[in-house]
């Protein structure tokens, strides 16, 4: 960490999120790059970050239409948080998490397994990889851990993933053999190259959460797996230990749009995904999913499948 970056240190054990004052979208010929400099300070999770101005959201749209060559997403006067994760695809099924109705951000919406870049992580890609542990898979007596190939992800980030996966299993109070399966980090020329502190890594989909002041980076992880049972692996820390959030996991087939809903490794329903979206909207939501999901549905590879129809539901 740059010594000139004055990061506060929390001595009471509460994980703090980072604020960034230098994030830019830059075009280099046909190549699009998201340049992220080191965070300039950390703040308690309770601190609200200013919203992202509509002007910048519109500039991002113009950038991806080729009308602008650079867009400043964060500066000293308008710092943002950085979040993200991977869209996880098991075989022909994409996995979503339904956010808790009491969640501070985006309650009741469908989301990907994602989080905020905080003082636990050394790099945004490490954050993205670690957040995949939010979805726990089980086959028989085995718990399945998708592991991205090391030519795309550094090996020490995989170690962080394994530690986080163990915490997820501990929160669920389950144990058994952990079996690793191959997972591919999909890349496409339409993606934006992530550059953190001068080092380029994977291609990502860039999304904005204007109301929460967050720039979100989304990868796509293809897992060589079918016929698993699912549970939410996200948890909260309490005096009595790690407590699972027990949210719904939605396993949606990319072609048939059959949505199998899981909670605690038990399938609780199977219905049409379009009807699920309509139901969420009837519950009082203007939209059924977060901007991360919306942007993933508009990008490769999801856009080539019938699941893109979810974007058209009124």
- With bands split at pLDDT 50, 70 and 90, how would you rate the model's confidence at 14? low
Q: Report if residue 195 sits inside a domain.
A: yes
Q: Which domain holds residue 63?
A: 17-308
CB 209 within 8 A of CB 57: no
Q: Report if residue 10 sits inside a domain.
A: no
Q: Report if residue 146 sits inside a domain.
A: yes
Q: Report if residue 9 sits inside a domain.
A: no
CB 250 within 8 A of CB 96: yes
Q: Report if residue 50 sits inside a domain.
A: yes
pLDDT digits (tens, 9 = 90+) for 42-88: 887 777 777 899 999 999 999 999 999 999 999 988 899 999 999 99
CB 250 within 8 A of CB 95: yes
CB 60 within 8 A of CB 71: yes
Among 104-108, 186-190, 193-197, 276-280, which stretch is predicted with the lowest mean pLDDT? Answer: 104-108
Domain count, the chain: 1
pLDDT digits (tens, 9 = 90+) for 115-134: 999 988 999 999 999 999 99
Residues found in the chain: 314
Burial (CB < 10 A; 0-12, 13-18, 19+), residue 199, is: exposed
Between vectors from CA 275 to CA 279 and to CA 312, what angle results, nearest 5°?
100
Query: What is the tally of helices (H) and strands (E) in the chain?
Result: 5, 21
4: pLDDT strictly greater than 70: no
Tell me what percent of the residues of the chain surpass a pLDDT of 90: 79
Which residue is associated with the tokens 């994760």? 85
* Residue 245 Rama label (left phi>0; alpha psi -120 to 50; beta): alpha
Cα–Cα distance for residue pair 113/110, rounded to 1 Å: 10
Q: Report if residue 252 sits inside a domain.
A: yes
Q: Report if residue 11 sits inside a domain.
A: no
138-to-54, 135, 143, 229 alpha-carbon distances in Å: 43, 10, 4, 5
Q: Report if residue 221 sits inside a domain.
A: yes
CB 222 within 8 A of CB 254: no
Residue 164: per-residue pLDDT: 96
* Both structure tokens of 129: 């990889």
């Amino acid at each position: 960490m740059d010594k000139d970056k004055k990061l506060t240190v929390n001595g009471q054990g509460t994980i703090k999120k980072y604020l960034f004052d230098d994030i830019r979208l830059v075009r280099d010929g046909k190549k699009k790059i998201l340049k992220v400099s080191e965070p300039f300070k950390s703040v308690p999770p309770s601190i609200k970050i200013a919203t992202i101005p509509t002007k910048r959201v519109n500039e991002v749209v113009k950038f991806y239409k080729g009308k602008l060559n650079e867009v400043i997403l964060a500066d000293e006067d308008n710092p943002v948080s950085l979040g993200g994760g991977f869209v996880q695809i098991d075989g022909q099924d994409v996995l979503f998490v339904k956010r808790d109705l009491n969640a501070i951000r985006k309650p009741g919406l469908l989301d990907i397994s994602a989080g905020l870049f905080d003082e636990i992580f050394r790099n945004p890609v490490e954050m993205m990889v670690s957040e995949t542990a939010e979805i726990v898979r089980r086959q028989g007596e085995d718990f399945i851990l998708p592991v991205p190939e090391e030519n795309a992800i550094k090996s020490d980030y995989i170690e962080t993933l394994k530690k986080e996966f163990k915490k997820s299993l501990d929160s669920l109070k389950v144990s058994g053999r952990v079996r690793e399966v191959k997972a591919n980090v999909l890349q496409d020329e339409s993606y934006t190259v992530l550059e953190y502190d001068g080092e380029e890594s994977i291609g990502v989909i860039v999304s904005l959460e204007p109301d929460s002041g967050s720039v979100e980076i989304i990868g796509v992880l293809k897992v060589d797996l079918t016929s698993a049972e699912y549970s939410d692996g996200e948890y909260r820390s309490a005096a009595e230990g790690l407590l699972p959030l027990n949210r719904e996991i939605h396993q949606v087939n990319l072609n048939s749009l059959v949505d199998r809903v899981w909670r605690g490794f038990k399938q609780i329903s199977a219905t049409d995904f379009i009807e699920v979206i309509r139901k969420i909207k009837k519950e009082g939501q203007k939209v059924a999913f977060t901007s991360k999901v919306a942007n993933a549905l508009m990008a490769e590879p999801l856009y080539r499948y019938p699941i893109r129809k979810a974007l058209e539901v009124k």
